[in-house]
Amino acid sequence: MQILRRRGWEIPERLVTPEAAVLGRRAVLAGAAALTAGPAAAAVLPAAVPPASISMDPPRDMAFRAGRALTPYKVATTYNNYYEFSLYKDLWREAQKMTIAPWSIRIDGMVANPRTIGFEDLLRQVKLEQRVYRHRCVEAWAMTVPWTGFPMAELVKLAAPLSGAKYVVFTTVEQPAAMPGLDSPLFPWPYVEGVTMAEAMNELAFVSVGLYGKPLPKQSGAPIRITLPWKYGFKSGKAFVKVSFTDRQPKTFWAQISPSEYGFWANVNPAVPHPRWSQATERLIGTDQRVPTQIFNGYGPFVASLYAGMKGVMLYR
């Protein structure tokens, strides 16, 4: 099947994300060129994971009501950020080229037993639940969706880190044949994100394998992603293949690109503007309604204590 795409130079600059704009126009054009050079979309591969015996539609945990309308599935799965595929929000079609089965995750660094665990094996060792979370991108758009997954604390327990471990680091898969963005030397691939052990053990920190009661779509981070709803969305790395434990703060993807704009902490705060735009309000995708941004994206009661005694704008960038 032939898929018609606009050529890179025809893409209006206003469609480029603010996150991309930090790299400047040349980078944007290079990214667009890489994208158009890619082969036409291959046939959509069947998602062989997760195993049919595990329900992706477990009961919703009502402790995590979002207090606003859900974003329709179609909206949440056709407006995405996933720079491995594209700098543009309509990357969902491009993302179907990636392979998600078989999938395994390497657990290494400061652990007693470094090992590799298969995705299905992992799913059998955790109890899936469903949580409706607000999601806030640093670009000031937001959505509200039900994720299926399990607490990040469960993954940490399974991994059994050594007592000296201070951070857990998640690395996204690199599939060069499917991901034209990886060709761009302007990005410090692979996509790496991480949190402190205390953040990882917080009950809000989640590992998602489903969306709206179905397996995660590829554009949303299939087969497994992190979900940190009190932080800007770029902290929630997709399609991870490695979980590492370390005693050094990791060099995360966006912090390597522009540490003053996209730092390690990246907690949502309406009062701390991005250097290039306000964070006071956010746009709900789907309706385009503007609503006030909430400190910690409204999750302060769960997470504010993690930062007690810490100060400074860098906690919020």
Q: Please count the residues of this chain forming the interface with ligand MTE, following the rule CB under 6 A.
A: 17
Contacts with 311 (C-beta within 8 Å, 6 or more apart), sequence order: none
- CA–CA separation, 86 vs 81, rounded Å? 8
Report if residue 219 touches Mo ion, rule: CB under 5 A. Answer: no
Q: How many CB atoms lie within 10 A of CB 196?
A: 16
Report if residue 297 touches ligand MTE, rule: CB under 6 A. Answer: no
- The β-bridge partners of 82 are 86
Of 28, 32, 83, 105, the one binding ligand MTE by CB under 6 A: 83
Task: Please say which residue, 32 or 137, places its beta carbon nearer to Mo ion.
Answer: 137
- CA–CA separation, 33 vs 62, rounded Å? 45
Task: Please say which residue, 19 or 120, places its beta carbon nearer to ligand MTE.
Answer: 19
Q: x-or-dash pattern for Mo ion, window 39-78, by CB under 5 A?
A: ----------------------------------------
Q: How many CB atoms lie within 10 A of CB 117?
A: 16
Which stretches of 93-182 are assigned E, i.e. beta strand? 104-109, 115-118, 129-136, 141-151, 167-172
Taking the complex as a whole, the smallest distance from the CB of residue 225 to Mo ion amounts, in Å, to: 13
- Structural contact between residues 173 and 166, judged by C-beta atoms closer than 8 angstroms: no
Site for ligand MTE in 235-264 (CB under 6 A): 236-238
Site for ligand MTE in 7-26 (CB under 6 A): 19
Report if residue 134 touches ligand MTE, rule: CB under 6 A. Answer: no
Taking the complex as a whole, the smallest distance from the CB of residue 233 to Mo ion amounts, in Å, to: 4
- CA–CA separation, 135 vs 12, rounded Å? 26
Q: Which does 172 bind (CB under 5 to 8 A by kind): Mo ion, ligand MTE, none?
A: ligand MTE
Of 30, 49, 71, 80, the one binding ligand MTE by CB under 6 A: 80
Report if residue 81 touches Mo ion, rule: CB under 5 A. Answer: yes
Q: Which does 130 bind (CB under 5 to 8 A by kind): ligand MTE, Mo ion, none?
A: none
The amino acid occupying position 255 is: A
Report if residue 130 touches ligand MTE, rule: CB under 6 A. Answer: no
Among 155, 128, 91, residue whose Cα is nearest residue 214: 128
Q: How many CB atoms lie within 10 A of CB 244?
A: 22
Of 148, 220, 293, 297, the one binding ligand MTE by CB under 6 A: 220
Report if residue 191 touches ligand MTE, rule: CB under 6 A. Answer: yes
- Structural contact between residues 226 and 219, judged by C-beta atoms closer than 8 angstroms: no
Task: Please say which residue, 19 or 282, places its beta carbon nearer to ligand MTE.
Answer: 19
Percent of the chain that is helix, strand, coil (3-state, to 5): 25, 25, 50
Q: Which helix (H) or strand (E) holds 208?
A: strand 206-211
Report if residue 233 touches Mo ion, rule: CB under 5 A. Answer: yes
Task: Please say which residue, 27 or 110, places its beta carbon nearer to ligand MTE.
Answer: 27
Residue 183 φ/ψ, nearest 5 degrees: -70, -20
Q: Which does 267 bind (CB under 5 to 8 A by kind): Mo ion, ligand MTE, none?
A: none
Taking the complex as a whole, the smallest distance from the CB of residue 209 to ligand MTE amounts, in Å, to: 13
> For 67, left (φ over 0), alpha (ψ -120 to 50), or beta?
left
Instruction: Give the binding site for ligand MTE (CB under 6 A).
Output: 19, 80-84, 135, 137, 172, 191, 220-221, 233-234, 236-238
Instruction: Give the binding site for Mo ion (CB under 5 A).
Output: 81, 137, 233-234
